[in-house]
Amino acid sequence: MKSIFLHIFLFMGLVAFAQPKPSSATDRLKSNEQRSLLLANSTVNNTSFQNIGPSVMSGRVVDIDVNPSDPTEFYVAYATGGVWHTINNGQSFKSIFDSTATLNIGDIAVNWKNRIIWVGTGEANSSRSSYAGIGVYKSDNNGKTWTYLGLPESHHIGKVQLSPIDPNVAWVAALGHLYSENKERGIYKTADGGKTWKQTLYIDANTSGIDIDIDPKNPNNLYAAMWYKTRSASNFVEAGKTSGIYKSTNGGDSWTLASTAASGFPTGEGVGRIGIAVYPENPSIVYAIVDNNAQQSDTTIKRYSDTTRYALRDFKDLTVDQFLALDDRKFTNFIRSPRNGLPMKYTVSGIKEDVKSG
């Protein structure tokens, strides 16, 4: 007898498509240079344009950085909309990142004492609508001009962490390519204001740096979150055993795994994205949130089972007759779930007919 469980997997596998080769950062930077040349030679180069609508809307806000001495001044970063600055508590904003090669932002960090803005490009959320960046930028004149600092193949940056005592020291959590393996991911450190970078934490070509935080009282102590994930056009594996929290006691030059099995933090194949925060008043306290995909016990599954749709485990060990008797409404909710994402051409009646006919 054919396995119904395998049959469902085969249907879900039909939505996989060949992955096109991504454009290299070099190609994208060259394209931006060509765009700048075309703009410089354009007959409307000195003509100013004003957006008149039809509506005012924003998008996904990925970060906000507020002036600690004046809460009415802050910077806002958008996933695909650049960086904006306000000095009147958000009554009006000025776009300050339009002159760069990308408007896709992952994180911003501001050294308010020295008025230096750091921007990590490429959204970190890892959805199909998360677009790549080309590395890190820095400005020391409120965005009038920007200096490109490299890390071109990092593509998506989860966090830029600045040293509280040295304006030339910064760390970056790089996710790397979204749809393919690459080595430019993990944790990077610069000690010369971004002129050069050193990769100080690397696990493998599928494990990304997603977050960093620092002990404000002892900047030698840092915590970094690593995230195992893979994505294709039809599937997202959002957890793995190499996800975890690492600690450095030497300013991020080397790292030790802190989230061991003995630590009490979740470990194993189910550990997904992690966010971390050091409590400033007592840096020995570190908070972490985790997307834990670990398999639940049978007791927990029964207690919290979704009664509106089937789960993949419900198809295990079914006979053909049992499969054909499944509730159509719950089955439909299962195949239309965003997590499963079967194309609309597949219907419950069609799947059942295929199983029935062998």
Instruction: Tell me how far apart the alpha carbons of residues 230 and 347 are, in angstroms, rounded to a whole number.
Output: 28
Over its C-alpha atoms, the chain yields an Rg (Å, rounded) of: 24
Stated length of the chain: 358
pLDDT at 91: 94
Range(s) for CATH 2.130.10.10 in the chain? Answer: 58-292
pLDDT at 48: 80
pLDDT at 148: 97
pLDDT at 342: 74
Burial environment of residue 21 by CB neighbours within 10 A (0 to 12, 13 to 18, 19 or more): exposed
pLDDT at 123: 96
Tokens matching residue 322: 């049992």
Q: What fold is seen in the domain 58-292?
A: Methylamine Dehydrogenase; Chain H (2.130.10)
Burial environment of residue 268 by CB neighbours within 10 A (0 to 12, 13 to 18, 19 or more): middle
Q: Please, where are the H alpha helices in the chain?
A: 4-13, 25-40, 298-303, 320-324, 328-335, 348-357
pLDDT at 19: 52
pLDDT at 77: 97
- What is each CA distance from 280 to 64, 136, 258, in whole angstroms? 18, 26, 19
pLDDT at 223: 99
Q: Which of 138, 139, 134, 140 is nearest to 121 (CA)?
A: 134
Instruction: Tell me how far apart the alpha carbons of residues 177 and 205 are, in angstroms, rounded to a whole number.
Output: 9
Consecutive 10-residue runs of the chain (358 residues): their mean pLDDT?
54 51 79 85 82 72 97 97 96 93 96 97 92 96 96 97 98 96 97 98 98 97 98 90 98 98 94 97 96 71 61 83 90 78 83 87
pLDDT at 289: 97
State which amino acid sits at residue 5: F
